[in-house]
Amino acid sequence: MFITKPFEDELLSSWLFRLSRINFTNLINIHNFLFKTKNLHTIDIDIYELSNNQLEEISMKTKYSIVDIKNLQLLKYESYLEEEFNSGARHRWITPINKHTTSNFYSCRYCPLCLKNEPYLRNLWRLLFINSCSKHSIYLHNFSPNCKKQISFNNKDTNQKIHMCFHCKYDLRESNIVKIKQQSIELTSQKKLFTIMKYGYVKCNPKMHQYAVQKCTT
């Protein structure tokens, strides 16, 4: 089996898809080989709690540590975004995967410019409050602008690329780009929310904090 290195901020589902491409096979075969568990391809692997045996199995076959594998999952945000994740439930801050809607609250988002530079799906793109790319200062997309359907990987199509819409074959890297001003409230608020999630707090503007204290005491 050929192995490609996962990116530090990559989704597990994205890495597994890329493994299937370099091995000229489909996702079912990759899942069955790595986990020795049938039907894992049908669930949301990014928030599924893998057993110790499954983690040891994939670690042994890919030569990447269990810590590396777990870091690709959204479960690393457990106790930060929510107290506990349930793979079979709806989550407040994780975008669910649903193939029958074009709602902005569903599916994995993507940045066309990020896909051009490095073709893989980022962890952050499934966090509900991440709506823009801080690197390129543009809004993220969550479906193909051509057919209005979400990102999905079909097990039968071994020629599909990660930047290609399975439904209409549109190149997602060519999606329209809407720029955002660096000092916009969208980017500022998103950065603060991410900081709160990562560290548990965010430093406010001292002047605004002083004003708030004065208002509360008068």
Q: Please tell me whether residues 174 and 131 are part of one structural domain.
A: yes
pLDDT at 103 (0 to 100): 58
Residue 7 lies in a domain: no
| Within a domain: 2 | no
Cα–Cα distance list, 35 to 22, 53, 199 (Å): 18, 8, 33
Tell me, what's the pLDDT at 201?
Answer: 52
Is residue 4 assigned to a domain? no
What is the average pLDDT across 165-191?
A: 87
* Domain presence at residue 164: yes
Residue 5, domain member (yes or no): no
Structural domain including 190 reads 182-218
DSSP letters, 28-86, are HHHHHHHH--TTGGGS-TTS----HHHHHHHHHHH---HHHHHHTSGGGGBTTTBS---
- Asked if 130 and 217 sit in the same domain, the reply is no
Residues 94 and 148 in one domain: yes
Retrieve residue 174's tokens.
């060519």
Give the tokens for residue 52.
Answer: 């110790």
Per the structure block, which two tokens stand in for 180?
Answer: 């955002």
- Kindly state whether residues 217 and 149 are assigned to the same domain: no
Do 125 and 189 have their domain in common?
A: no
DSSP 25: S
- 212 in the same domain as 160: no
Quick one: residue 119, left, alpha or beta (phi over 0 = left, psi -120 to 50 = alpha)? beta
Written as six digits, the tokens of 95 are 């975008």
Does the structure show a pLDDT above 60 at 202?
A: no
Do 176 and 190 belong together in one domain? no
For 126-150, write each residue's pLDDT tens digit. Answer: 988 888 998 899 999 988 999 988 8
* Cα–Cα–Cα angle for 51, 127, 64, rounded to 5 degrees: 40
Tokens 């819409």 correspond to what residue? 165
Sign, CA dihedral 91-94-98-104, equals positive
**Shared domain check, 107 and 212:** no
Contact 34, 72 (CB under 8 A): no
Decide if 149 is inside a domain: yes
Can you spell out the DSSP letters for 111-153? Answer: -HHHHHHS-S-BGGGGBTT--EETTTTEE-B-S-TTT------
* 80 in the same domain as 55: yes
169 plus 194 within the same structural domain: no
Q: How many domains does the chain have?
A: 2
Same domain, 190 and 174: no
Q: Is the confidence at residue 212, as pLDDT, over 60? A: no
Residue 110: what residue type? Answer: Y
Is residue 1 a part of any domain in this protein? no
Per-residue pLDDT tens over the stretch 80-119: 666 666 655 567 778 887 655 555 567 889 999 999 999 9
Q: In terms of domains, do 159 and 54 share one?
A: yes
Does residue 166 lie within any of the structural domains?
yes
